[in-house]
Amino acid sequence: MNTQQMEQMGQFKITVWEEENFQGKRCEFLLECQNIMDRGFHKILSLWISTLLSYNRGWLGYEYPEFQGQQFILEKGDYPRYEAWSGNSSYRTEHMLSFRPIKCANHSDSKVTLYECEDFQGRKFEMCDDYPSLQAMGWCSKEVPSIKVNSGA
């Protein structure tokens, strides 16, 4: 894949290191990685995310292979140690074993249906645009017990 194709896709590039502070084994990725151990790594302890275009989204990092476990939102920048991505949450993990780019849907064809009751029952309300206030659009409740994504996600 050349740079022009990557720019058209709006990809981020993620560079990962096996040791803290950008030390040890290093590898660059443009696409998802289901299991970093398949690439000869034991774990990821530091990473760096750069972008090819300014409107790119980011990456999701996962504690375990196959996109399992605690999830971390990774935006453009440096992550020299696990604290940089795990933050101050009560659940901390010192490694990341899989990651993938955040994909943005084409919302021109998005459509969701809100339901008044659980299990897609009761009165329904279809949405295909942004609504700052559901009540102003005729939705009486402050709760939405079930939602069905019809397209565009």
| 96/120 same-domain check | no
Handedness of CA 120, 126, 130, 133 (dihedral sign): negative
Q: What is the pLDDT of residue 7?
A: 43
Q: What is the pLDDT at residue 105?
A: 59
Question: Which H or E element spans position 147?
Answer: strand 146-151
* Cβ atoms < 10 Å from Cβ of 55: 7
The three-state secondary structure class of 45 is coil
Same domain, 15 and 80: yes
Q: Between 86 and 152, where is the model more confident?
A: 86
Domain match, 97 and 119 both = no
Residues 119 and 65 in one domain: no
Residue 37 has φ and ψ, to the nearest 5°, of -65, -25
pLDDT digits (tens, 9 = 90+) for 59-106: 888 999 999 988 888 888 888 888 887 776 666 777 889 998 887 656
89 and 50 in a single domain? The answer is yes
Domain containing residue 141 = 107-151
Average pLDDT, the chain: 80
User: In this structure, what CATH number is given to the domain that contains residue 64?
Assistant: 2.60.20.10
DSSP three-state, residue 70: strand
Asked whether residue 22 falls in the same domain as residue 88, the answer is yes
